[in-house]
Structure 1
């Protein structure tokens, strides 16, 4: 079979298959053109979820009449001209493919005016040019998408599904470009109206529209920069997470991107504060020198490559890890409206009439009974010096510490809390972890593979504060363990650490998983269930939690404490109803 040159229309349809997948792809490309034209107002009109009509109107710089035909040609653009321009792209679009691709699979009409009068010019997919009434800016009308590609059209979803995909695109743009007014209409009804905003309050309003009220109430702001790189935005507290990664927005130089490197950095930052496979919610903005990032990776421009990917990864991880570590119990226990407590009455003495009254009145406890204080009085007594986690009241079933703070009742999982405290101390002391020699060395039976691990990684074990010697092919002698951990758990500690080393297998993996090994060690060093604690010990644990980073979660991501406010307790007993 002879080689043939494809016709321009067929070549455009093939190219459109990469760029234009569905109505949302059209909206994305046209929105990027409007943003590059520096329009402050963008209106989007849809019919049938975009499958019948997509119309986008902006007030940007417009296109000159003599450039209209060229605008619908492949690889024609005003945004780059040389190789050096391609290496430092500062605009969202640059490939010159979008309009040509859209025109090849739809009935397109492009109308534009780059002057101050109201006379513009329009061009259709058939290259017919005529004068039209048009204010300064550009209007693109796309009708009957994929009308000439039936195979693609039948793969479109329902009108609502296609609309929701467009809504997602518009939502992302509204978050990264808060200074732009954007309206979205579907079948004649305005569904979104994003007004331009400059203050943080307005930006939070857009975030609330995108992620919901729950996110804005559980989000923390960050803004860090180093030389020519800056990371800012909002991330969810570890206590607010989702089962899916569907609310994770990352922008590089105002471009929405998906990147495994960035996803890994965020995942690592949350690794020891999120429970199992839960996913954080975030909207993060990375500003970086355009010459340090390659955006010419994929036709959809959703992927990028960084010139120094390790530096970017470590910067993102470091900023997020530090910010999450700085979240204190005081920040988590957001102060409720205490005015609602002011009307809570003090509880009167409980008096029963009848013969039993004399019996009770003779007991010592009732002879010395003091009137019970109301919650409002207790709060006022300690309002000036009450710590965030309050003061311990009692221990429940040897598992939980019950404490009272200014908001209500704090319930602490003492093992989980102590585990986090030990873990953070081990991480701090890791470089100079002191060992405590065992008065009587312990001999344990192990598998031959574990003996080999000790032989291979004896230096790494010493760095972890564990000294082992080989007694035989199937036994080891424990001579020392970290001084931060109790001697009573030495055997099980060593077995679990050896199990981790066998699993990770190589030096690289061991360095990557060192925190997991320290977590295992911390688990064995923490207080166990059914251990009776005095009030002094319980309060010492609460104070240590307040001083420890990431103390709201244990090493496995489980919460370490929970708060029941007075109003929530009132609800349990139907008070005030």
Structure 2
């Protein structure tokens, strides 16, 4: 506990100014440079790239908390330079202000190794091309001969082992690992001619050989990213712009893939993402965001990288010109290609042919729907109270009901000349109070009389208090939510094997989600194998078999990414929400009275849970008689 009295009694004039020792200075500086394992990976990786390496291997243990080892085949460091390796502000990259203003190297401050070595168990090994021996130096500055091929290897063990307060602030190994993946993604793309190998917990995660830009992007972000993108190019005397941007149909509303590379350095897009979006104009909705990778080559003196300790941002001398150039280049690129959206016609699944046989259905029979254009319609069979129809025991989509509903036509006896009001019971389900006094009015089946469907989206009912409106999709989504959740608790899995395994290209972050949340995916009914950036999908949940398998798993991964959580229970709930939403009756889909009755029955089983969808939006609203009378100015 802080002793305030002791602080007040201490005479500040008795405190002497002291010069901090070298190690303490480095630890304080490490607070700016070394924030977490990804910060260490960034600094060491940039050193390897500055050393003109063509092969870089990154080894991690426990998300980089226990081990970070980066090995390259670069130019190496001479033994004579070893004593200065751990000195702060010692660097081989610049020696004057003029060189600072014109530097194109990734690093130039000369403080990374000193800071990192002060908060870890540090070993640096290197052998230059013409060197007779390799040498190493540890965090204590001791130099010795070691074994190593040409290049450099830096090993960091037990990050923040000597700064417990900093170590406590680290997240879980899984979170730290994903931060490293997110960082590496930009470097993998920015340096397609460099071979990269990533190993985590002694398992190879990725291996990229030297290749062309387009091929590297396809491997990192998936082939669909490049297929749905168009090239961008501009070249002037002081500026060169190249890269790819997504077609309008591939723009997204959340978490777009956006990368700005300036002189081979990955940076946050910041204000330039606005320039890209403005280039699309009215081709996309305001809520949509383009996906892009833009590579800017600019004179070193026209960009200042020395404004952030970790060099995550840059200041441009002619920012407005760069902004306008990006906007104009995007617009010109979009004008050069056809933007007609390609619609993929999906083959009907085997399930749609085998679910229900149309046997017993007479040729030419059809289910007629309520119409106000002509004829009459009574949604209740003769003598019934409320919409208690005899029919399906559970809701069934329209395209699966032929054999069960083929002979049912609610308006088969209707007249063709106008709406016959005599046949419509306008008093409602509760017109006879003596008959209905024992009914449970919290039950939809007992308290609502079905009137019809509005815009194939809203179900209209007459109730004791006035008008009740149910959002058919939101209501059925809640029914499906509990249905799926209960099925997941059972031992038996409801799955569907794919006739032919489906190979899908995926980006690194999406692969990481598939690895992290595999127990959730398996519980839902998915089965797949992962090889580098390809997923071999072999099985899907049976209740979602009608959805394109690739679209199904990619959309579910996007939901996981947008949720920004690694908790398996939370991910499972997100997955149930997804499956319920996709499996529910759609907004704009026609429903038959029997289907409405079945939906009401299912909702009644949910009791108080039936009034909202799984996301919390209301599924049912009511307009009282009083409100209706006020709207028609019958009551003040």
Q: TM-score, normalised by structure 1?
A: 0.56
1:270-301, CA deviations, whole angstroms, 9 ceiling, x for partnerless residues? 34222232222111100011111111111111
Separation of aligned partners in 2, 1:246 and 1:94: 31
Q: Which residue of 1 aligns with 2:435?
A: none
Q: Which residue of 2 aligns with 1:25?
A: 39
Say if 1:116 and 1:135, in contact at 8 Å, map to a contact too. no
1:187-224, CA deviations, whole angstroms, 9 ceiling, x for partnerless residues? 111001011103xxxx3332233323332221111121
Q: Which residue of 2 aligns with 1:84?
A: 98
Say if 1:119 and 1:135, in contact at 8 Å, map to a contact too. no
Q: Which residue of 2 aligns with 1:46?
A: 60
Once the two structures are TM-superposed, the CA of residue 36 in structure 1 deviates from its matched residue by 0.5
Select which of 235, 247, 250 maps to 2:260.
250
- Counterparts of 1:77-226 in structure 2, within 5 Å, are 77-116=91-130, 119-198=133-212, 203-226=213-236
Separation of aligned partners in 1, 2:265 and 2:315: 13
Going from structure 1 to structure 2, the CA distance change for 1:313 and 1:135 (only over 3 Å counts) comes to same
Higher mean C-alpha deviation, range 264-273 or range 296-305: 264-273
Separation of aligned partners in 1, 2:296 and 2:261: 6
Asked whether 1:235 is paired with 2:245, we answer yes
Query: What number of residue pairs does the alignment pair up?
Result: 338
Separation of aligned partners in 1, 2:342 and 2:70: 45
- Counterparts of 1:407-418 in structure 2, within 5 Å, are none
Separation of aligned partners in 1, 2:93 and 2:198: 27
Going from structure 1 to structure 2, the CA distance change for 1:35 and 1:304 (only over 3 Å counts) comes to same
Higher mean C-alpha deviation, range 316-325 or range 44-53: 316-325
Once the two structures are TM-superposed, the CA of residue 174 in structure 1 deviates from its matched residue by 1.2
Separation of aligned partners in 2, 1:285 and 1:126: 41
Say if 1:261 and 1:309, in contact at 8 Å, map to a contact too. no
- Counterparts of 1:281-360 in structure 2, within 5 Å, are 281-329=291-339, 332-333=341-342
Say if 1:118 and 1:134, in contact at 8 Å, map to a contact too. no
Once the two structures are TM-superposed, the CA of residue 175 in structure 1 deviates from its matched residue by 0.5
Going from structure 1 to structure 2, the CA distance change for 1:15 and 1:259 (only over 3 Å counts) comes to farther
Q: Which residue of 2 aligns with 1:34?
A: 48
Going from structure 1 to structure 2, the CA distance change for 1:75 and 1:128 (only over 3 Å counts) comes to same
Say if 2:63 and 2:177, in contact at 8 Å, map to a contact too. yes
Say if 2:256 and 2:290, in contact at 8 Å, map to a contact too. no
Separation of aligned partners in 2, 1:7 and 1:105: 15
Going from structure 1 to structure 2, the CA distance change for 1:322 and 1:280 (only over 3 Å counts) comes to same
Structure 1: 5+ residue stretches without partners: 338-352, 355-577
Going from structure 1 to structure 2, the CA distance change for 1:227 and 1:115 (only over 3 Å counts) comes to closer
Say if 2:78 and 2:131, in contact at 8 Å, map to a contact too. no
Asked whether 1:274 is paired with 2:284, we answer yes
Say if 2:125 and 2:134, in contact at 8 Å, map to a contact too. yes
Q: Which residue of 2 aligns with 1:58?
A: 72
Separation of aligned partners in 1, 2:246 and 2:339: 15
Q: Which residue of 2 aligns with 1:569?
A: none
Separation of aligned partners in 2, 1:327 and 1:121: 56
1:308-365, CA deviations, whole angstroms, 9 ceiling, x for partnerless residues? 11111111111112212333245x449999xxxxxxxxxxxxxxx99xxxxxxxxxxx
- Counterparts of 1:510-549 in structure 2, within 5 Å, are none
Separation of aligned partners in 2, 1:311 and 1:336: 44
Separation of aligned partners in 1, 2:91 and 2:315: 22
Say if 2:259 and 2:269, in contact at 8 Å, map to a contact too. no
- Counterparts of 1:484-495 in structure 2, within 5 Å, are none
Q: CA RMSD in A?
A: 2.5
Say if 2:242 and 2:296, in contact at 8 Å, map to a contact too. yes
Structure 2: 5+ residue stretches without partners: 1-11, 347-361, 364-636
Separation of aligned partners in 2, 1:134 and 1:118: 11
Separation of aligned partners in 2, 1:223 and 1:60: 31
Say if 2:126 and 2:153, in contact at 8 Å, map to a contact too. yes
Separation of aligned partners in 2, 1:308 and 1:217: 33
Once the two structures are TM-superposed, the CA of residue 112 in structure 1 deviates from its matched residue by 0.6
1:22-78, CA deviations, whole angstroms, 9 ceiling, x for partnerless residues? 111111111100010001010111111110000000010101112112111111111
Going from structure 1 to structure 2, the CA distance change for 1:334 and 1:62 (only over 3 Å counts) comes to farther
Separation of aligned partners in 2, 1:329 and 1:246: 20
Going from structure 1 to structure 2, the CA distance change for 1:322 and 1:115 (only over 3 Å counts) comes to closer
Say if 1:118 and 1:133, in contact at 8 Å, map to a contact too. no
Separation of aligned partners in 2, 1:231 and 1:67: 38
The residue matched to 2:273 in structure 1 has which SS?
helix
Separation of aligned partners in 1, 2:92 and 2:179: 29
Say if 1:109 and 1:123, in contact at 8 Å, map to a contact too. yes
Separation of aligned partners in 2, 1:224 and 1:256: 19
Once the two structures are TM-superposed, the CA of residue 246 in structure 1 deviates from its matched residue by 4.7
1:143-177, CA deviations, whole angstroms, 9 ceiling, x for partnerless residues? 00011111221121221221121122222111011
Runs of 4+ more than 6 Å apart? 334-337
